Structure 1
Amino acid sequence: MDAIGKVAVLGIGVLGSQIAFQVAYSGFEVTAYDIDTKALEEADRRLSGLIGSYEKLVPGATAGKATQARDRIVLTADLAAAVADADLVIEAVPEVLALKQEIYGKISRLAPAGTIFATNSSTLLPSEMKDFTGRPDRFLALHFANQIWRFNTAEVMGTPETDPAVFDRVVAFAKAIGMVPIPLRKEKAGYVLNSLLAPFLSAAANLAAGDYAHPHDVDKVWRIATGAPVGPFQIFDIIGLVTPYNIMSHGDERSQEIAAWLKENYIDKGKLGVATGEGFYSYK
């Protein structure tokens, strides 16, 4: 199969913007889609901010190279235009199954037959979406970690219907954009990373939401006792609180209670994490 050349990223939130920038930084042409003008304006600010982040934090990055990466990203609210000539579509819309299924139903009719679809879903199985893609043999999961330039894993997970050649092509693409591919042998909700991380963050949130200990003290215990550089609530802030909220709000009764606590005490107050300057910690 031919190598991937043109990439579309659907959903330009915190992680979607990072995916688009990393792909462009690696020399690919990128079309990035979001739902309306307001979302695109916010995405433009995030992408422009990543220029400085790359200059400061990525070895070998220069102002010119980072600026060129931004210039290779075209923003659009036209879904048909976004996927019209893409070799690969990376979906990074919010972690809501019905929303993901809906967008695959739309792009299945808009994208060329040969286009590969990949979901960046954190916890949902690709099998839950494959029947909406119109191409289950060319559909799989490609999951990135937040702060993609630093935590550069790319978990690749297919369904029983994914063509092995497509799987290998996406693994090669992950390497081409500077990631370390982590192939999964079969479907697992949460992949490797979130299978380990989600229970850890849930346990921490339960301690704070249950008023057993303040989030900062939970982090302090974890850092001191394990030598870890950050605690669970610092990780929450890096991820952003909206994604954990969306996941927990569809969980069991206790998870929904924790989601309500997150919403009331943080999300409703605009404290969404590092991206907004404040979450469990202030970054202003």
Structure 2
Amino acid sequence: MNIKTVTVCGSGVLGSQIAFQTAFHGFDVRVYDLNDELIGKAKATLSGLQTPYQQDLHATSADTQAALNRIRFFTDLTQAVRGSDLVIEAIPEVLDIKQRFYSELGKVADAHTIFATNSSTLLPSAMMDFTGRPERFLALHFANRIWRQNTAEIMRTARTDDAVFEEVIQFARDIGMAALPIHKEQPGYILNTLLVPLLGAALELVVGGVADPHTVDKTWMVGTSAPIGPFGMLDVIGLTTPYNINRNAAEAFPRRAAVAQYLKENFIDQGKLGVATSEGFYRYPNPAYQNEDFLT
């Protein structure tokens, strides 16, 4: 196994989780973001991850503090990736932003460094030519709350080197993930191929005036015995990602434009981004769907 030092670019909800999970399993981790304000938020987020790791994984405070001690922070991309064996990109789900980022990354990273996008819907082939090293580029997609929802979808392109593909699969296993190899590009990978239509249908029911979010969630939870409904899931994911997904799809699917506008006006513009901001379709830390009488 050649991967020892990992840089995570993008310190949002999932970027921070990827960094902590990787450090928790003994790797040296660098976190890169654009400015000190974002890094400050990341430090607070990472510190807050100690509690769920202790509660859900029964980690000790010494274990989680050791993970934090393995993480360093950078606002200079060159410094962040120098000597890194793997760079995991977790920046906004906007294709031209990712393409520009890889153009810059390819200029400053070491020749041996593997690049992996955590994109949830965009195909790696849409970015690979911007990396300058398509044979050392692929997708490595994590689900939110990765210490519990520990899936890692490793999706290659037609140009990904076989050895790189296998090395990243092993890395995923080494950080405690269920490694799920995907041998052919598929929009949405496996998880989101299944999940995105559900969430999209739920949003369209609400935007179309058919039902309110809580009623949709009650329907799903009662009908399937699921512990959470689609709007609870959206809050966990964070509403920025579904907003960007629907905005990106609006040209091909006009009904998605109404969904994107609904999310923008009612949530994004008001800073209600889901669990991370303590409010989305529900208020946190005690969302209504966890109340005993929610389904009655």
Provide the TM-score with structure 1 as the length reference.
0.98
How far the C-alpha of 1:53 sits from its partner, in A, is 1.7
Residue aligned with 2:26, SS = coil
How far the C-alpha of 1:169 sits from its partner, in A, is 0.3
Opposite residue 128 of structure 2, the aligned amino acid is: K
Counterpart of 2:49 in structure 1 is: 50
Which sits farther off after the overlay, 260-269 or 229-238? 260-269
Q: Residues 8-35 of structure 1: CA distance to partner in whole angstroms, max 9, x if unpaired?
A: 0000100000000000000000000000
Counterpart of 2:185 in structure 1 is: 187
Counterpart of 2:264 in structure 1 is: 263
Counterpart of 2:61 in structure 1 is: 63
Counterpart of 2:198 in structure 1 is: 200
Matched residues in 2 for 1:63 and 1:52: separation? 9
Opposite residue 224 of structure 2, the aligned amino acid is: T
Matched residues in 2 for 1:149 and 1:134: separation? 32
Q: Residues 229-279 of structure 1: CA distance to partner in whole angstroms, max 9, x if unpaired?
A: 110000000000000001101112111110100111112222110010010
Within a 5 Å distance, the mapping from 1:7-86 to structure 2 comes to: 7-59=6-58, 61-86=59-84
Q: What number of residue pairs does the alignment pair up?
A: 282
How far the C-alpha of 1:186 sits from its partner, in A, is 0.3
Matched residues in 1 for 2:204 and 2:15: separation? 28
Q: Residues 202-243 of structure 1: CA distance to partner in whole angstroms, max 9, x if unpaired?
A: 000001111111100100000001111110000000000000
Residue aligned with 2:155, SS = strand
2:102 to 81, 101, 104: 104
Counterpart of 2:133 in structure 1 is: 135
Q: Residues 48-76 of structure 1: CA distance to partner in whole angstroms, max 9, x if unpaired?
A: 100112111213x1111001101111011
Matched residues in 2 for 1:19 and 1:171: separation? 15
Residue aligned with 1:269, SS = coil
Matched residues in 2 for 1:258 and 1:41: separation? 32
Residue aligned with 2:87, SS = strand
Q: Which segments of 5 or more consecutive residues in structure 2 lack a partner in the other structure?
A: 286-296
Counterpart of 1:145 in structure 2 is: 143
Counterpart of 2:232 in structure 1 is: 234
Matched residues in 2 for 1:54 and 1:202: separation? 31
How far the C-alpha of 1:3 sits from its partner, in A, is 2.2
1:209 to 207, 210, 214: 207
- The 4+ residue runs of structure 1 with deviation greater than 6 A are none
Q: Which segments of 5 or more consecutive residues in structure 1 lack a partner in the other structure?
A: none
Matched residues in 2 for 1:248 and 1:43: separation? 26
Cα RMSD for the two superposed structures: 0.8
Matched residues in 1 for 2:83 and 2:101: separation? 17
Residue aligned with 1:266, SS = helix
Q: Identity across aligned pairs (percent)?
A: 55
Counterpart of 2:122 in structure 1 is: 124
Q: Residues 164-187 of structure 1: CA distance to partner in whole angstroms, max 9, x if unpaired?
A: 010000000000000011001200
